[in-house]
Amino acid sequence: MRAWLRGHRALAACIGVLCLLPALHPGDIQWVGDEPMLIAGALRADRGHVLALHGLTGTAGAVYGPFPTWLYQLYLAFSSNLVALVALRAVVTTAVVAVSLVWLSRTLGLWPWFIPALLGSPYLWFYGRVIWDNSFAIPLCALSFASAVSFLARGRAWTLFLSLACCVAMVLTHLMALAFVVPVAGLVLTLAARRLRTLWWQLLLFVAGAALVSAPYLSFLRRSVSGQVRVTRSLEDWLFPLLGARILSAQRIDDIVGPTWLAGDMSAWGRLLGLATTVSLIAFPLVWVGLGLAVVRAWTGLRSTPGQPERLQGQTALLLVLLVLAQVLLNGLTAKSGFTHYFNATWIAFALLAWRTVDALRLTVLRGAATGALAASTLTVLLYLLVRIHHTGPSREPYGATLANQIDVARALNRRPPGSSLHVEVINVARFPIALAVLRALYPADGPPLAPAALRLVYRTDDPLDGRIRLVAQ
């Protein structure tokens, strides 16, 4: 790795800057429903001096794993500063993704300058910052895939166990991770069956440890699932994984920040945003072509002689195809479609499919043009969101008032005695009262106590596109 860094100093600097971007203005993340519920669960477990048994409950009634809550328990045992937690989480998760991409580039011989285009995704920026469970799947799947491919290439035992450990962590994070875990763990163990004969006792220890860690959650999950959940499947659900390139682009970013908020900007920057969003569509043909190339390479590569470079390329291509098929099955059988976060656990597959397409462009000018178009478009949207949320406030729905904004309100509320009344006129706060409740438990008053008063929680301005809030005494 050190030799690679010395030979790619400009690229390493570029990657370093992109890893720091999600940590800028960490207080500007959303703080709505799932985020405070995760922190509340971590606080309850810490106060009970136990590890959390499970995480959040999904919309279909399934209980998700405790791994994200365990991480937050560890942090809250030392600090209650959630803004610092956001910054730490953003840097670490993005760095894990970046290291995994560099690792894959070295193992598979892929053109490394496509890495900034992948890291510039506004979705990776958003999910790297937000205090949420599902988004941990992004760095975990990247690291698991990179270490699995490295194991297939070199047979080092520690890379296999790193990949499997990430798979266990993914299962203990979110059940959507099964679309990644089953194909990767299954195929790697199958392809490396001969090598595994010398690792049988290490595998037994690993399985025993994984079972010990996972058993309490899996037992709770089995007890919590009662009966069958009826779903109405549609063709759209089965075809939705073909839109996995969305997570590499800026398409449908309004699902996060709100369509009205973006459409309301009629300035030159707003028009540039529209153009950048359109240009980012290039991610879709890159992924679709890459999928076709993967099918061909899987067929030809697996028929090659073991030990040849084509063999590893074929095995990797087969993994990518299986991941897409697993995502199709998951979305189709569970009738899930529409939201980009459904791709978080298999994000690395779509990233590599696009990367292989660019890598197949032998003309440097074409390769640079495709990479530059994607990187410029997604970074434009990312920087626009970063600046606008900080300076003019986020949308009222679904984003809502930022974490830092709500911390200020919580501190102000803590200056008032219990006799004070509070009338909430803010959509998200009324819908998710736990958000302020958790912050009031973590953040003390920001000044001397005040007299009881009738209080109103209102939006800071009359602009319907401004989600910032303030506390008013009547």
pLDDT, tens digit, 9 for 90 and up, residues 87-106: 999 999 999 999 999 999 99
- The backbone torsions φ and ψ at residue 265, rounded to the nearest 5 degrees and listed phi first, read -90, 105
Distance of CA 334 to the CA centre of its chain: 20
Quote the pLDDT of residue 1. 66
The sheet with strand 454-459 has its strands ordered as: 421-424, 454-459, 469-473
Quote the pLDDT of residue 305. 66
Cβ neighbours of 37 (radius 10 Å): 19
Quote the pLDDT of residue 5. 67
Q: What is the mean pLDDT of the chain?
A: 91
User: One digit per residue, pLDDT tens: the chain, 474 residues?
Assistant: 666 666 688 899 999 999 999 999 999 999 998 999 999 999 999 999 999 999 998 777 789 999 999 999 999 999 999 999 999 999 999 999 999 999 999 999 999 999 999 999 999 999 999 999 999 999 999 999 999 999 999 989 999 999 999 999 999 999 999 999 999 999 888 888 787 888 888 989 999 999 999 999 998 888 776 555 566 778 888 999 999 999 999 999 988 998 888 887 888 888 899 999 999 999 999 999 999 999 998 888 777 666 667 888 999 999 999 999 999 999 998 888 889 999 999 999 999 999 999 999 988 899 999 999 999 999 999 999 999 999 988 999 899 999 999 999 999 999 998 878 899 999 999 999 999 999 999 999 888 888 888 899 999 998 888 999 999 987
Torsion of CA 330, 335, 340, 341, to 10 degrees: -60
Is this prediction's pTM over 0.85?
yes
In this structure, are residues 423 and 456 in contact, taking their beta carbons and an 8 Å threshold? Answer: yes
- Per residue in 208-253, pLDDT tens? 999 999 999 998 888 776 555 566 778 888 999 999 999 999 999 9
d(CA 428, CA 401): 8
Place of tokens 């007299």: 451
d(CA 348, CA 324): 10
Q: Which amino acid is at 210?
A: A
Quote the pLDDT of residue 42. 96
DSSP per position, 177-243: GHHHHHHHHHHHHHHTHHHHGGGHHHHHHHHHHHHHHHHHHHHHHHHH--SPPP----HHHHHGGGG
Characterize 226-236 residue by residue with b for buried, 16 or more Cβ atoms within 10 angstroms of its Cβ, and e for exposed: eeeeeeeeeee
Quote the pLDDT of residue 9. 85
Cβ neighbours of 316 (radius 10 Å): 24
Q: Which DSSP symbol is given to 58?
A: P
Q: Which amino acid is at 126?
A: F
Place of tokens 């089953």: 182
Q: Which amino acid is at 159?
A: T
